[in-house]
Amino acid sequence: MGRKLEINLDGVVVTARLLADAAPKTVQALVEACPLGGISHHARWSGPAFNLITKLERLHGLPPENVRHLLPPGTIVWIPQNSEILVTYGDVRLCNSPAQELFGSVVGEVEGDLSRLQAKAHSLRLEGEKPISIRAI
């Protein structure tokens, strides 16, 4: 099983360390589902984050693992309620609206400098959707 993910957001590529010890079942299912691809959108309510909405049957029904709703920059989280993989590029409070908090299974952390990813992700707010791909490495 791969212990890292490569995330490509419209040409900006980052590597993320998977947290297999903290979320073993979710990480395993995510790695087995890779490669993934589609369109990324900026988070509406949670703050500086972008997502890949996906219908990953193998991730639904898993018990919550490494659950949090306050996330630092560079966090990768599976949010089953929304069928999405979310990547933060700033401090995030997961929510579906100002009054409805969400909780997700934290599965990884982006390694290294986030500045290029932060610039590209921020552009989603103004320019709209961008292509995204995720693969296990």
Question: Residue 4's pLDDT is what?
Answer: 97
Question: Residue 70's pLDDT is what?
Answer: 94
1 pLDDT more than 60? no
Question: Residue 57's pLDDT is what?
Answer: 74
- pLDDT (mean) for 50-58: 83
2 pLDDT more than 70? no
Express each pLDDT in 78-128 by its tens digit. Answer: 998 888 999 999 999 998 877 888 899 999 999 999 999 999 999 998 899
Query: Rounded to two decimals, what is the model's pTM?
Result: 0.93
Burial of 18 (0-12, 13-18, 19+ CB in 10 A): buried
Express each pLDDT in 31-53 by its tens digit. Answer: 999 999 999 999 988 999 999 98
Could you tell me the domains of the chain? Answer: 4-136 (2.40.100.20)
